[in-house]
Amino acid sequence: MSIRVLVYSDDVNVRQQVIVALGRRPDPALPEFEYVEVATEPVAIQNLDSGKIDLAILDGDAVPAGGLGIAKQAKDELTTCPPIVVLIERSADAWLATWSRAEAVASVPIDPLDLVSTVTSLLQVTA
């Protein structure tokens, strides 16, 4: 069994930074991570709606659809939605993450220790 993590960003470098920061198994108490990389809003929503994603990490600055808007749409429209972490560049945007109903935020540039801590605490709460 693995944890399926959706990583959404229009920027392949952001997706790779997330995957490298988290690695295959960021916490020995959790199963290995399997990543689903997506670059467009329709594919992100389709994956979130599939019921096969355990956690979503969405780039708040992706274009044309930002992760905050996708988080809000997913939380409002999907019957079951996995926990969502939104990546934000400006700490002043944290209120938008609250509006979007994301469970957590992580900063960009990505701090691997912060991201691992955020993700593992979120998954241990929802496990």
**CB contact set of 7 (below 8 Å; sequence gap of 6+):** 15, 18, 19, 35, 36, 37, 38, 57
Tokens linked to 19: 């995957």
Which pLDDT belongs to residue 125?
A: 62
Whether the per-residue pLDDT at 90 is higher than 90: the answer is no
- pLDDT for the residue 94: 83
User: Which amino acid belongs to residue 72?
Assistant: K
The pLDDT of residue 127 is above 70: no
SS3 for 105?
Answer: strand
Q: Do residues 116 and 27 lie in contact, with contact meaning Cβ atoms separated by under 8 Å? A: yes
pLDDT digits (tens, 9 = 90+) for 28-75: 999 999 999 999 999 999 999 999 999 999 999 999 999 999 999 999
